[in-house]
Amino acid sequence: MNKITLTLKVWRQKNAKSHGRFEVYKLTDIDTAMSFLEMLDVVNENLTREGKEPVAFDHDCREGICGMCGAVVNGQAHGPLRATTLCQLHLRHFKNNQTIVIEPWRSKGFPVVKDLVVDRSAFDKIIASGGYVSVRTGSAPDAHAVLIKKDDAEKAMDAAACIGCGACVAACPNASAMLFVGAKVSHLVLLPQGQPESEARVLNMVKTMDAQGFGNCSNEYECEAACPKEISVKNIARLNHEFRKAQIAK
């Protein structure tokens, strides 16, 4: 069992209106088998024992599935490990006596609620604006009842892996949400069930994305690098293509 000592600089902010600041917490003899969120649990146990306010941070599944967790760790969304959510990051990837700076996602579209928690309801609004799929799905049909090209099925499933964590926005210098929207548009438009509403869906989702204050893509590829599900920027190209097609058809 390896033990390390860490210095944490954690962003503390009472609410959306107050000014935030970094607070420093020292952790000694901390087990490297611990996950990053378990380390924050230890910080919070210490703070609670001292009668202080614990650090607010989002989490749910702690299995890299739900998309609830997320923070910028030493300048990188979800930390230094590729294709890894914050909850799946472990302390063995940090060095003894290292200083770790932990901040919330920073974007106009994701206002800070408290400490490391940001309001990601802008993503919910984008999804809601995409509307429903009118194709009646009913009970599970035979796997081969609707023929879908293998390549399209795989691309759609890859896009559907997006967990909506917001790391793409946090990593982008323009705070663009185009990787997220590209993934959501792609996973439906590649399948026959997504065709009937495809034009209205892309137009509405892009309109809502712009209204929520997210920036545009300028091909930095930071989103793809930060994405814990390795969503490809090809989905942004598909989003642009579908958007232009829908505008012409309008």
Nearest-approach distance from CB 59 to ligand FES, in angstroms: 4
Q: Which of 8, 30, 87, 89 binds ligand FES (CB under 6 A)?
A: 87
* Window of 54-62, 126-134, 219-227, 234-242 that interacts with ligand FES by CB under 6 A: 54-62
Provide the residue type at 128 as one letter: A
CB 14 within 8 A of CB 114: yes
Q: Which of 34, 66, 81, 237 binds ligand FES (CB under 6 A)?
A: 66
* Window of 55-63, 124-132, 151-159, 186-194 that interacts with ligand FES by CB under 6 A: 55-63
65 touching ligand FES, by CB under 6 A: yes
Residues that bind ligand FES (rule: CB under 6 A) add up to a total of 12
Radius of gyration of the chain from its Cα atoms, rounded to whole angstroms: 20
Nearest-approach distance from CB 227 to ligand FES, in angstroms: 12
E-strand ranges in the chain read 3-12, 21-31, 72-73, 76-77, 98-103, 112-114, 117-118
Provide the residue type at 184 as one letter: K
Q: Which of 11, 40, 67, 182 binds ligand FES (CB under 6 A)?
A: 67
Provide the residue type at 182 as one letter: G
CB 112 within 8 A of CB 16: yes
64 touching ligand FES, by CB under 6 A: yes
Pick the closest to residue 186 from 212, 168, 162 (CA basis). Answer: 162
Nearest-approach distance from CB 70 to ligand FES, in angstroms: 7
CA 141 to chain centre: 32
Chain residues binding ligand FES by CB under 6 A are 59-62, 64-69, 85, 87
